[in-house]
Chain A
Amino acid sequence: MNNRIKELRARDNLTQSDLAKIVGVRRETIVFLEKGKYNPSLKLAHEISKIFKTPIEDVFNLK
């Protein structure tokens, strides 16, 4: 699964730690998400897209 977390994070001036803290996960999780090595749960995907005020399908999409 591809995602635009890194791009959206840069747009909103958020560090990985900031995003991790806001969505309530560890920074390592954000690192793996950005690398595309981990597919988040539906709940986490929703929370991340809510933070970026972007529809979930624009943040995450299937390859």
Chain B
Amino acid sequence: MNKQRIVLISSYLIILLLVSGLRYFENQTGFFKWIDPLLLLLIVVIAFIYTMQSLKSKNKKKNGIPVDDEFSILIKYKIGYYSYFASAFLWYVLFVFKDRFPDIETILGGGVLISSLIVIITRIIIKHFPDE
């Protein structure tokens, strides 16, 4: 499968996780009622960005510039590694303290939401400190 497609699909999966998490919270608390238009905008913006990036990558390939190299691959591995362990720890904590949540939906929604946020935050941190 084309690498760009993998990036696009995984980005949408992350957004899907984020949206599902927010949905659960909205259903439970009514706190995120204002978020619907924002999410729609977010999805449209990301679709636009990745379409542009995909076109850019095609041009880069044509000009002999690699789309991926040792540095970008290292970053991807690190993001996957750290976010996986952080998410695993998060789920562990959620299940340990499950009695403190009103119901299972809140736990699942919160877990999904925070997992997706972990991926985004890890990406930002790793990009700034790739060799730390």
Contact = CB atoms under 8 A, between A and B. Distances in A.
Contacts of B130: 32, 37-38
A25 B71 CA distance: 8
Interface residues of B, number: 13
Nearest to B69: A25
A29 B70 contact: yes
A44 B70 contact: yes
Q: How large is the interface on A (under 10, 10 to 19, 20 to 34, 35 or more residues)?
A: 10 to 19
A25 B70 contact: yes
Interface string A16-55: 0100110011111100100001111100100000000000
Contacts of A41: 70
Nearest to B74: A38
Main secondary structure of the interface of B (DSSP, over half): loop
B131 A39 contact: yes
Contacts of A20: 65
B129 to A, nearest CB: 7
Contact of B66 (A17, A25, A37, A39): A25
Contacts of A24: 66, 69
B131 A26 contact: no
B72 interface: yes
Interface of B: 63-72, 129-131
17 contacts: A17-B65, A21-B63, A24-B66, A24-B69, A25-B66, A25-B70, A26-B67, A26-B69, A28-B71, A28-B72, A32-B130, A37-B129, A37-B131, A38-B130, A39-B131, A41-B70, A44-B70
